[in-house]
Structure 1
Amino acid sequence: MPSIDDIDHRILRALLRDGRGSFAEVGSEVGLSASATKRRVDRLVRAGAIRGFTAVVEPHAMGWDIEAVVQLYTNGTVPFETMRADLTELTEIVEAVTVAGAADAMLRVVAADVPHLERVISRVRGLPYVQQTDTTMLLSVLVRRPNVPQTPAVDVSG
């Protein structure tokens, strides 16, 4: 990946806040023309710093009002790309991460109701490398922040 400078970081933060912002709007924010901003965004896409553009849909808008965390345990070493490809196929899985600890991965799952959640968990359990799952239903969100990188903290301790 090519070197990413401060302007690139500012472009990335602007796009994370509003992926639909025009090149002119993003450029105005970072001090570039629309065409210079487009060239930088295109370079960031080619370099893999930007993997794509998508709509972030609120699960409730889909009628998916139930949320759960599913711990996934495998029956051996599973190639990362295999697990990622399989889990990506299930649109109800809104986040999946590998973890250190007893479980091999944690999944955040949304569903319309308990039968829908059961169908999703059944599909996960049907993957050939899944040994077991452990599901925890989530009740109320106390804090949820967007995944927007923060500006590095400034050390004022002197």
Structure 2
Amino acid sequence: MQRRRLAAGIALAATPAGIAAAAPIRQRVVYHVGDEGGPDHAHWRTALGNMRNHLDVVGDGLELVCLLNSSGIRLLLDAAGNPELGADVAALRRRGARFLVCSNSLRGQKVAREALLAVPEGDVVPAGVVELTRLQQEGFAYIRP
């Protein structure tokens, strides 16, 4: 009996009416960038491309955060002087992505927040690993491209 109800529920959900009635996808995701971008920023470009693709598929149903710590903070440092990289970051921000930066990493690498590409003071977190933990406890899925 339960199998029939399950099958009927799946069939209803698969119909156009079932799809239209479904709630919009709601995902909360934190992308973790904590290392050098590699030659020609290849690793960072992959991470930014994954974020763009995620937004393309899920759209408004996605709450997207990129947490930068360790050498990953250099993504926004390099983006401040690299128009192509800066444009990729700016495009993601326009679509609602937030870029959070680890204060410990800034201090340890002697990088001023103002040297990064447009990071508001409120997007600097005390410790990246603590923020990653907090976000996961709040239901954010963790992705490290």
Q: Fold conserved (TM > 0.5)?
A: no
Choose 1 or 2 for highest CA Rg: 1
Greater RCO between the two (CA within 8 Å, min separation 6)? 2
Q: Which one has a larger percent helix, Structure 1 or Structure 2?
A: 2
When the two structures are superposed, what TM-score results if normalisation uses the length of structure 2?
A: 0.30
